[in-house]
């Protein structure tokens, strides 16, 4: 199994064979997709679709079929609408427990201040339509709650973790927010074990093979809870012990099929960010060229499953490569073909 780890992950991630019929299908398959870089996240979705355009992905956000919010690790992700409530309920409380004392001490949001802020936000969003972030900050300031110095963002983040609100479609370059109850249909809450079981299956569906450390990193769960989740799902999983680690995958994962050898990935793509250990796809010597000390994760070009270069968009819409190793002429050509697919996505 492990010698073909990258091939199997490319297949599970739907990068090798992009077959998703819609943006929601692509996001649903991955369970959640990191999305603090909005434009990178749009291409992350399009990359996994059979024939996608940027307009299609943004339209799915406008319709609420995919939702951008903070379900885990305090980081923005895209989720399919029906996955928002159970995933936030399972994963957000650990983030809140870790951050409550800090935001009370450093930002001044103790329990009474958070309750006041919630009242202001619920009133501002009461009509059930998306409201621009700048307008929400103005409402906070008018209510005597200073929004500057990141205080407004901390409040919105906290209320998203409380399932009070989530992001709506963009208004120009600004995010909007909307009440969760107006945007995401209600659903019956899941028991904790049921949610953990579902999480393990959904994570491995889009990320397997992976280890318990990978699942714990991706979800923000403790190692103990991540292992419990995998054990709950074990009857539906395959696994193999190699070099002291247990690697898990969905037993119903499709067999590997022929695929392109070259892929142009956006910044923060799940192919890199979705695992604790990135050495299967990235030489350790190049880690800092991809994972910056400031938390940024570069856009990458993948050649036969491994990172061969980082890239940036040029002013003329082309791709500027920064190779991590010497690239052969055929590899340059293959990456440029992959770049053409990205360009068609933007133009559509």
Going by C-alpha positions, the residue among 69, 112, 70 that lies closest to residue 94 is 70
Mean pLDDT for 130-150 is 97
Report whether the peptide linkage leading into residue 209 is cis, meaning its omega lies within 30 degrees of zero: yes
pLDDT over 90 at 69, yes or no: yes
182-190 long-range Cβ contacts below 8 angstroms, 24+ apart: 182/125, 182/128, 182/129, 183/64, 183/67, 183/81, 183/128, 184/64, 184/67, 184/81, 184/84, 184/85, 185/81, 185/82, 186/85, 187/82, 187/85, 187/86, 189/85, 189/86, 189/89, 190/86, 190/89, 190/90
φ and ψ at 173, to 5 degrees?
-100, 5
pLDDT over 70 at 108, yes or no: yes
- Answer whether 307's CB lies under 8 Å from 272's CB: yes
CA–CA separation, 87 and 80 (whole Å) = 10
Per-residue confidence band for 254, with pLDDT thresholds at 50, 70 and 90? confident
pLDDT over 90 at 232, yes or no: yes
- Say whether 267 sits in a helix, a strand or coil: coil
Half-sphere exposure of 109 (CA within 13 A, CB side): 26
pLDDT at 348: 80
Domains in the chain: ranges and CATH: 2-14+191-250 (1.10.10.10)
- Answer whether 244's CB lies under 8 Å from 3's CB: no
CA–CA separation, 209 and 248 (whole Å) = 5
The pLDDT > 90 percentage for the chain reads 92
Here the tokens at position 164 are: 């009070």
Half-sphere exposure of 179 (CA within 13 A, CB side): 16
pLDDT at 243: 82
pLDDT at 3: 53
Mean pLDDT for 77-84 is 98
Here the tokens at position 185 are: 């249909």
Per-residue confidence band for 1, with pLDDT thresholds at 50, 70 and 90? very low
């Amino acid at each position: 199994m492990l010698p073909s780890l990258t091939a199997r992950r490319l297949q599970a991630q739907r990068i090798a064979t992009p077959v998703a019929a819609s943006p929601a299908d692509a996001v649903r398959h991955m369970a959640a997709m990191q999305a603090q870089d909005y434009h990178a996240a749009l291409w992350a979705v399009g990359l996994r679709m059979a024939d996608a355009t940027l307009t299609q992905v943004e339209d799915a956000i406008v319709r609420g079929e995919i939702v951008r919010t903070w379900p885990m690790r305090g980081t923005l992700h895209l989720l399919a609408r029906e996955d928002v409530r159970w995933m936030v309920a399972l994963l957000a409380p650990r983030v809140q427990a870790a951050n409550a004392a800090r935001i009370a001490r450093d930002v001044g949001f103790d329990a009474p201040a958070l309750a006041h802020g919630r009242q202001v936000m619920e009133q501002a969003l009461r009509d059930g339509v998306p409201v621009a972030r700048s307008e929400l900050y103005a409402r906070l300031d008018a209510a005597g709650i200073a929004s500057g110095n990141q205080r407004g963002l901390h409040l919105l983040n906290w209320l998203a973790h409380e399932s009070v609100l989530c992001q709506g479609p963009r208004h120009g370059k600004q995010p909007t927010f909307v009440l969760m109850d107006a945007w995401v249909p209600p659903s019956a809450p899941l028991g904790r074990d049921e949610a953990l079981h579902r999480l393990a299956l959904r994570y491995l569906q889009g990320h397997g093979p992976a280890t318990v450390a990978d699942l714990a990193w991706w979800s923000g769960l403790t190692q103990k809870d991540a292992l419990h989740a995998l054990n709950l799902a074990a009857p539906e999983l395959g696994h193999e012990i190699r070099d002291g680690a247990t690697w898990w995958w969905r037993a119903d994962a499709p067999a590997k099929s022929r695929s392109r050898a070259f892929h142009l990935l956006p910044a923060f793509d799940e192919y890199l960010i979705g695992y604790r250990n990135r050495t299967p796809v990235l030489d350790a010597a190049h880690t800092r060229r991809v994972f910056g000390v400031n938390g940024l994760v570069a856009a990458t070009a993948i050649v036969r499953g491994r990172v061969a270069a980082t890239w940036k968009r040029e002013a003329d819409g082309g791709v500027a490569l920064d190779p991590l190793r010497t690239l052969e002429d055929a590899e340059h050509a293959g990456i440029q073909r992959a770049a053409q697919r990205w360009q068609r996505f933007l133009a559509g």
